[in-house]
Amino acid sequence: MLFEQERQQKIMNYIKHHGRASVQELCKAFEVSESTIRRDLKVLEDQEKIDRTHGGAMAKDSVHFEPTFSEKSVRFSEEKKLIAKKAVEFIHNGDTILLDSGTTTQMLVGEIKKFSNLTVVTNSVVFAKELENSPQIEVVLLGGKLRTETLALVGPITELSLSQLHVDKAFIATNGIDLTMGLTTPNLTEAATKRKMIEQSNQIIVVADHSKFNRHSFAKFGEIEQIDYCITDDKSPTELLKALEQTGVEIFEVTSTT
């Protein structure tokens, strides 16, 4: 029988090797109860060795791994709502905006329904569906290949569509923000689409909760210097935010209650 710390170390190694693992999978692998595994995952998360997901955990430093859209939507939801409420202040009637597919940008969809004259360009089939009963908002859904992990339309067709458009403001989601690597995401095709979004926009507004900072994924899609505004929550690392400001990025922090 394993001691608690030894078991937690083995659980961390298991998750790191596999990229992710469910609670049930870990119960079977280590022959312990769900309550024990959940307690071990909480300890490892508090030590910042793993990231918890809905029903399990994922490796913190896996540059290729990406949780599903539904898994990401339940993480830091309060912070994402507050970020969206701040982001909507950048939008005005008559604007043409681009909403990149993401769980933080999804929070913006509900906020923009109050506008009486808006054009929304998006690569998210989820966003387009949510706006179908908002006749005051013109929705332009980009074509492309559907990525089931992010429910985003991406690829050469998406990029061709974007090349024919130009928007006032783009609200961009990211998996990582790092001073050296810039803006990153786990998938090469999605990175290329995000890169094109940035090219076709007058203003770039990155919306990201604190978990995205000092992290980088596999594929780079943007430079820090390309960001005009970054909206985040007050748990984001102060030193990195100061460094971003020194490069010309204007930072907005929202205060969460959690």
**pLDDT average, residue stretch 33-52:** 88
Final residue before a domain boundary, out of 62, 84, 110: 62
Give yes or no: residues 243 and 166 share one domain: yes
Domain count, the chain: 2
Residue 232 maps to a domain: yes
DSSP H or E run through 39: helix 34-46
Domain identity same for 234 and 118 = yes
In a domain, 139, yes or no: yes
Asked if 140 and 247 sit in the same domain, the reply is: yes
The CB density around residue 90, as the number of other CB atoms within 10 Å, is 18
3-state secondary structure of 20: strand
One domain for residues 91 and 181: yes
| Domain range for 24 | 4-62
Q: 213 and 177 in contact (C-beta within 8 Å)?
A: yes
**Dihedral of alpha carbons 242, 245, 249, 251, sign:** positive
175 and 215 in a single domain? The answer is yes
Q: Determine, yes or no, domain membership for 88.
A: yes
Residues 85 and 57 in one domain: no
Across the range 28-41, mean pLDDT stands at 92
> In this structure, is residue 67 part of a structural domain?
no
Does the residue 70 lie in any domain? Answer: no
pLDDT, one tens digit per residue, over 193-227 is: 999 999 999 999 999 999 899 888 889 999 999 99
CATH number at residue 9: 1.10.10.10
What pLDDT is recorded for position 1? 56
Q: Pull the structure tokens for residue 2.
A: 């394993």
Over 60: is that where the pLDDT of 74 sits?
no
pLDDT at 68 over 60: no
Alpha-carbon separation of residue 17 from 126, 157, 182 (angstroms): 32, 35, 26
Q: How confident is the model at residue 62 (pLDDT cuts 50, 70, 90)?
A: low
Whether 123 and 48 map to the same domain: the answer is: no
**Paired sense of beta strands 176-178 and 182-185, if any:** antiparallel
Contact 171, 95 (CB under 8 A): no
Residue 145 lies in a domain: yes
Name the band, by pLDDT with cuts 50, 70 and 90, for residue 61: low
pTM for this entry = 0.76
Q: What is the CATH number of the domain that holds 124?
A: 3.40.50.1360
Contacts of 191 (CB under 8 A, 6+ apart): 184, 185, 219, 220, 221
Mark whether 58 and 81 lie in a shared domain. no
